[in-house]
Each structure stands twice: as C-alpha cells, then as structure tokens.
Amino acid sequence: MSERATREETVNVVWSGNWVAERLGVALEGGDELGDLLGLALRRNPKRAHLLVSNVLGKHVPQLPSVVHGAGYELGERVRALLGPQEARRAVVLGYAETATGLGHAVADGLRDAPYLHSTRRPVAGVAPAGGFEESHSHATSHLLLPEDRDLLAGGGPASTLVLVDDEFSTGNTVLNTVRALHALHPRERYVIVALVDMRSPADRDRLTAFAAEIGARVDLVTRAAGTVALPDGVLERGQALVAEQEARTPASAPPSVPVPAHVTRVALDWPAGVPDGGRHGFTPDHRAALEAALPAMAERIATALDAGAPDRGDDHGQGADGDRDRIPAAEPDRDRSPARGQGQGRVGDQDQDQDQGQGQDQDQGRVRAPRRVLVLGFEELMYAPLRLGTALEELLGARAEVRYSTTTRSPVLAVDDLGYAIRTRLVFPAHDDPADGPGDRYAYNVAGAGFDAVVAVVDSTADTPALHAPDGLLARLAEHTGQVLLAVVPSYTPTPVQEPAVLPEPLRGPDFSSYAPDEVGWLLQDLSDTELEAPTEEREEAIQSGGAHYAESLPVEYQPSPAYQALFTAALETSAARIARAVGTVTETVLAERGPRPVLVSLARAGTPVGVLMRRWARHRHGLDLPHYAISIVRGRGIDATALRWLAAHHDPADVVFVDGWTGKGAITRELAAAVEAFEASGNPAGFDPEIAVLADPGGCVRTYGTREDFLIPSACLNSTVSGLISRTVLRADLVGPDDFHGGKFYRELAASDVSNHFLDTVAARFDDVAAEVDDATKELLAADRAPTWEGWAAVERISEEYGIHDVNLVKPGVGETTRVLLRRVPWKILARRGAGPDLEHIRLLAEQRGVPVEEVDDLPYSCVGLIHPRFTRGATGADGRAVAGGSPVADGGEAVREA
C-alpha cells in the first residue's frame, strides 16, 4: 500500500445527508460510521424517494481508488477469517450488477483464492444464461448469470460456500430471490452475505432468519456498519413533491450551439491477453495474478499520456463550468472544514489539499507535467478494471497528483448544489454500448465543477462506439469540465460461442403422443412416458419450497375428478362455450391482422395448447388457413426450451412465430419468455423471435394481444391432462434432458376413458358461427384501442404478498386459472375471492371444500380470485387426510440460524 492509501479517510466536513434530513426528517440510526459511509440524495421513484449514497463505493462520489478497493478487500479478509483458508478456496463470490460489481471483485481479492462472478444486465452472444433472478419491484428479469464455465456456480459441491456481495442490504428481498433461485440449481449448506452497510428493519432480519431455517442452510452476514433508516409518515409523498419542486427550478438547457471539441487522447493499455475485463463471465485466481503483474506497466502508460498532454496550470479550461443539461450549478471541490451539522461527523475521502503546490512542476518551463487532480472514470458494470488501474496510478504518482475514481451509471438521481447533499452535479449523456433494453440517458455524478485537471475514461470495447465520441456523448461532456480527456479501452472478453447440435429431434404427434389429431399440434417435447416422475403433492411442495428441487423436476399425481367435479366441468363448458369462442376468435383475428396472414402458432405447453388448437381451428373455419401449430416448453426460473427454438428457426421464419398461452396471472411467464428469447439470441442463436404472447384472457394486464381481459372460468383450466391431449406438464431435469434434447413430457394413455380434450375443442368450435359478428366488432375495437400492458395484476400480487406476510410473489397465484392449479397441484393455504363473484368460482369452492381450504371474500380484487400457496410449507402443513392444518408448521425442524459476523 502507498502512503496515500494509509491516510485517514475522514475529516470534519458538512454531512452530505443534511439537506435531505432537514427537509424530510430522514435519519440514519446506528453507529457513528454511518454518517461517514453514507450521504443522502433524492430520486424519482414510486417506492422510495430517498437514496443512500455511498462514499466508499466509487459509484456516485469520486473517491481515492485505494479507499474503494480497500473497503471491499477488508470485507473479503473478514470473510476469509470466518471461513478459514481451506473453505475460502472452495467458495464462489457473486456480486450484483451494476453497483456492486467492483465491490464484489474486491471482496474476492480479499479472499485471495476464490473465483468471482457478477450478475449482468447485458446479454452476451455465445453465453447462455446459467440462471438469473429478479428484483422484486421489476417487471423484467433484472439479473443474468453468464459464466463461461457452467460449473462455476456449483463450486465445490453442496459443502462449498456462496458469498453474495451487494453495496447495501436494505430489505433483503434481492438476496432472498437470489438464494432461492440458486439454491434450486445448486443446493449448498452455507451462504455468506456481504455488504458495506446493513440497513434492514427487524422484520426483514427475522425474515432472513426464517428463510435460512427453511432451506436448512447457515447464512452469515459480514458488514462494515449497520443501522436503520428512520422514515417519518408521509415521507414518500413529500419526497416526490420535493423532487418535482427541485426539477421545476432547474429547467433543461439546450445543448451548446457550438459543441466543445473533445480533445481525446487514446491510451494503449496493452491489456494482458486472456484476462477478462471483469467478472461478467467469471474471474479466476489465475486471471487475478496475471492482472496484478500487468497493472504497473499499464499505469505507467497512463501517466506518460497524462504528462504529455498536461495543459498549462494557468489554463483553467472548463473548471467550474455548468455540467448538466438541467442547468444544475456546478460545485467546487469541498474545501469547507467547518464543523459538521447534524448527524455524522465527516465525509469519507475529502483530504486536506496540503501538498506542496510546486510538486510535479518543471521549473524551467513553468508547466505542470502531471495534472494535480485526476479522475479515473469507469463505465456502469465495468468497475473493477478502472478501479485497479486507478489504484496502480495512485501508487505510481504518489504526491504528484490526487487520483480519484468513480463510474458512470444508469440511475437517474436529482442533483442539488449544496454542501449537505450527496449528489452536487450530474452530467447527462446518451448510452453508448447499444444496450439490450434500448437507448436512454446515462449519468456521471459529482464530476462537473470538481476541479479535475484530467479525466481518464475507461470503457470496454463494446462501449467504444460512435455514440461515445458524438458531440453530445460522454467524452464531449467531460471535455466541457476538464483540460484533458484520456480514453483507455479494455477489450471486452468474448467467451467461446455455443456450438449448435448437428441433428435436431423431430416433434411428436398424436395418436402416438397425445389424443389430439396429428395435424392439430406438433409437440416439441421428448417422450418420458415410461419414466416414473410423479410424487405426492405434499412431498413435492416440501422439496420445492425447501430449495431441494425445482417444480419442473417432478410431476404431481394427476388429479382424477370426482363425479361432482366432472359434472361441474361439463356444466361450465356448456355455459361458457360461446364466451370462449368469442375470445378465441378475437385473439386469432388480432394476430392475423397484426402478424401477417400465415403466422406459426407456438403454444406454451400445456395450458396454451388447447388455445392454440382452437385458434388454428378458427383460422381454418373462417379463412381457410391451415396454420402450423407446435407446443413448446417454458419453465419459470429456467427459461424456454432452446433446442425447440432452434428447431423452429430451422423450419420457419422466426418473425412468423406467435407464442400462445391460455391466460395471464401476474405475468411471470410473460417476463420469463421475454428474458429467455433475449438470452437465446444473445447466445449466438437465430434471431427474430417476437416474445409477445397472445392469450385467450389477460386479467393481469400483462400483454397487448388477447381475446378478453375478463377473469372468467376457462373450463380447460379445471382439469389437467384430460383436457390437454392427455399430456403432462413439462419436465426439465438434468439427468433426463441433455443440452440438445427437447424438454420432456408424458402421455397418459391409461387415462383415455376420462379424456375430454376433443370434447372441449368441439364444443367451443361449434359456437364459432354464433359469435362471428361479435368477434368482428370486438376485433375492430381492440385494433383501434390502446392495449398497452398495465401490469395491474403484478401490482396487486405484490400488495397481497406483503399484506398476508408471504413475501414471495411466486406463492401468490392470481386469477381463476392459476387458483385452480393451486388447488389441483400445490399445497393451498387460502383462497381470496372477490366479493360477489358468481358461477365462475363454483369449481373453486368445490375444490377448496374437498381440500379443507378456507375461502375468504375480499373487496378491491382485480381478479375473480387469488390462490395462496402455503408460505411456510412442511409436511406439518397438512394432516394425514390431506386437509390443511390451521397455522401449519412455520418452518422445518433443524437448519442453521442467521449469524452476524
């Protein structure tokens, strides 16, 4: 470590949370170090207006590189001491994109021998996702896991430790989602959660403790500081109003009429061959050793370029210029050494500027040969490479220059030019890496007006695009505020692309597989009819919720309806046939109008398959079209069958493919399909698939192509295989499904006597002529309407999950169809029914009575009903007769508690 790296980190300055604290009453409660580590800012967010801004993360606040790397490295050393050297070598470190990618890498450095991987929002060609997880507030899968080595996440087996690293631990939801998803893939006995600060409430802490006991794993926490955020009543509304007020005071400014020329000097780093640019695809101890050896020479090249291009000290080009499109005043570097106001006695990293002003000068020429204040600026997820270049440059230059480090970000935050506010200025510029979610603004905070003599922008080669060099791009915006801009490009690591299989399997058809006619549907599945896959419902639920199994690895025992239930199905079919026919016709006509005259229907097995057959029948009956129709498997948490997509691309134009499903609930499969298609194409597979789903009913407001948005009884949801061609739910298990195989399914030939699949189709199709005029009117109305998804259902599910203490949206199943599945396949806890719901819920009430499940009538429900899966299921949650036991058993016996380290 250099002398600079051992300096005291804190000084007495105004706390960078005072501005927010004084106006909103927000307070940090905990140790004295919280005020040093964190400031406060505001952002436009419907759930939380305030933002905790770290002073040692190197994201929003420029900081000494040694301080940033040291903060993570120290946490890694503590984890190593907790685990012991032997177990530390077997651990795998996982960081969160984008904010904690560099922190997680520094933690891995502190463990010394552990490989590192970070999640990413950038799909990469040649790498299929090994998993993924969601942030609970997001409408799309937020994090992809793209290791080049598919065994990286498995580590050393169940006994190995997974170390999860985030910058702050606020509610614990993201960590719970991650552990739940990864534990299903690779169960292990121990997890370590690492964060700079732990700001969870007591209830959130208890929730993690209970979850650890449920899965029977030990969970340790390692943090630098802990506390809570005190929020007064109404703070969200007042925060939103304050943001709107501040934004109104800072009207947007037009771009300069004459753009500032970006005098950019490229620095050839000579990045070491074979070393990845970061942890997106994995970073091993061998990579770390190669990078460490190369860092001094790369820092020397940057220093040489800084010396060569340093302007006269008298030329203060850009210093203090306005750096924000919103005309937010620029802030000078904080030199105020007055006593701190309010809580917290300092801000980390702003050292006294007491170096000799003559250091680094050429006395003969009177010119500064090394800029006195240098910023190394990283790029979104690319945090570690610029951080280590910054530490090496800091070590090399010593007292000749003050080196700071921060990175650009996707996150919009309000900037306020006040000493007591964490985000003083912001630069706004367009995204320059062709992001998968489309163009948008990006930001660099506390750079404008900070007095930097030079900025070294570090990007990966994927982001070295014309947009980066454009007149309104990042480099030009930096040139407005500094006399020297350097560009260092780290080569984007390209993993070995996935090889396509030489031979693709062929679809299965009836009567050999399914009771449908061979031209009705081709099943892109493999036949597992002779494999024993069924397990009792309670046993499956325990395995699924404990993390020991994924729901797609086994099958429930097929429900055989009682005579009363069978009679109810028959009556419901007769009552609703015309309504179903009308919805079938409407969605089919909408597809034909918007997707061309000969779409390829691809239903999501198995609930979508009867709908796909009916849509095919409608197109043939009304228009004489013989549309191709296939059934494909998609598995929540695992994605779509990539082999089946490759088969479709080999036999049809992907642009013609229309995905079909029965109904939407909260939209989980809608989101799963969008993420899966994106990842499929990013992995080098054929492109052109449109992930939009056409559904019969969209009560959740999740899609734009639908027959109706009513939540009514679709009789095909009342039964399982006996209304779906006698085909099981799809199966995905590693020992049965290879990388070039279709997912699996079973044909229950032995249930032929109970099969009503074709009876259902024939009954609905017989009403096509009766509803033709209504379909024409409904289609015209829909095509002219705004059909944008509202995601109303997702919001309701999140609310119900919290109100009923479930804290897992996957256990809340909204709508008649999903509630029926809960009662047939899962361990139900209770049913919520909209007050006054009529005949559509008769079969729900019958099933609930048979299983002893309470039905609770509620108001303000956007669905007819919602099924709640037992949130703390063990075998104690049901009695010997299979009926629910009130209260259930909250957690499994045994398991380790959460431990604080």
Residue that has been written with the tokens 């009130």 in this structure: 886
pLDDT tens figures, 337-378: 222 223 333 333 343 333 333 344 444 444 445 458 999 999
Element spanning 245, H or E: helix 235-249
- Partners of 368 in beta bridges: 361
Average pLDDT over residues 834-859: 86
- At 92, list the tokens: 């795998």
Q: What is the DSSP string of 658-677?
A: EEEEEE-SSSHHHHHHHHHH
Does residue 854 have a cis peptide bond before it, meaning omega lies within 30 degrees of 0?
no
When mean pLDDT is compared over 187-191, 424-428, 571-575, 820-824, the highest value belongs to: 424-428
- Distance CA(84)–CA(111), nearest Å, equals 10
Nearest to 253 by CA among 26, 477, 532, 574: 477
Calculate Rg over the CA atoms of the chain. 30
The answer, yes or no, to whether residue 260 has pLDDT greater than 70, is no
Region of poorest pLDDT, from 161-165, 335-339, 760-764: 335-339
Alpha-helical runs (H) found in 640-740:
642-651, 668-682
Measured at the alpha carbon of residue 134, what is the angle toward residues 131 and 135, in degrees to the nearest 5? 150
Measured at the alpha carbon of residue 155, what is the angle toward residues 93 and 638, in degrees to the nearest 5? 90
- Distance CA(667)–CA(690), nearest Å, equals 16
The pairing of strands 116-118 and 92-95 is parallel
Average pLDDT over residues 733-757: 88
pLDDT attached to residue 262? 57
pLDDT tens figures, 521-543: 999 999 999 888 776 555 544 54
Percent residues over pLDDT 90 in the chain? 48
Q: Is the distance from CB of 577 to CB of 569 less than 8 angstroms?
A: no
- Distance CA(723)–CA(754), nearest Å, equals 9
Please indicate whether residue 445 or residue 808 has the higher confidence score (pLDDT): 445
The answer, yes or no, to whether residue 891 has pLDDT greater than 50, is no
Average pLDDT over residues 818-822: 82
pLDDT tens figures, 64-73: 999 999 999 9
How far, in whole angstroms, is CA 257 from its chain's centroid?
A: 40
Q: Coil, strand or helix: which one is 758?
A: helix
Task: State the pLDDT confidence band at 110, using cuts at 50, 70 and 90.
Answer: very high
**Alpha-carbon separation of residue 774 from 137, 582, 658, 778 (angstroms):** 38, 7, 24, 6
pLDDT attached to residue 405? 98
Q: Is the distance from CB of 595 to CB of 565 less than 8 angstroms?
A: no
Please indicate whether residue 674 or residue 185 has the higher confidence score (pLDDT): 674
Task: State the pLDDT confidence band at 315, using cuts at 50, 70 and 90.
Answer: very low
Terminus-to-terminus CA distance in the chain, angstroms? 26
The answer, yes or no, to whether residue 217 has pLDDT greater than 50, is yes
The answer, yes or no, to whether residue 246 has pLDDT greater than 60, is yes
Residue that has been written with the tokens 């012991």 in this structure: 84
The answer, yes or no, to whether residue 545 has pLDDT greater than 80, is no
Nearest to 654 by CA among 622, 632, 626: 632
Measured at the alpha carbon of residue 189, what is the angle toward residues 186 and 192, in degrees to the nearest 5? 95
Region of poorest pLDDT, from 476-485, 546-555, 640-649, 811-820: 546-555
pLDDT attached to residue 874? 40
pLDDT tens figures, 14-57: 899 999 999 999 999 987 789 899 999 998 776 778 899 999 99
**Single-letter residue type at 193:** I
**Alpha-carbon separation of residue 233 from 25, 26, 228, 236, 239 (angstroms):** 10, 10, 16, 8, 11
**Single-letter residue type at 52:** L
- At 689, list the tokens: 């698939």
Write down the mean pLDDT value for the chain.
82
pLDDT tens figures, 552-576: 676 777 767 778 778 878 887 888 8
**Single-letter residue type at 743:** H
**814 burial via Cβ count (<10 Å: 0-12, 13-18, 19+):** buried
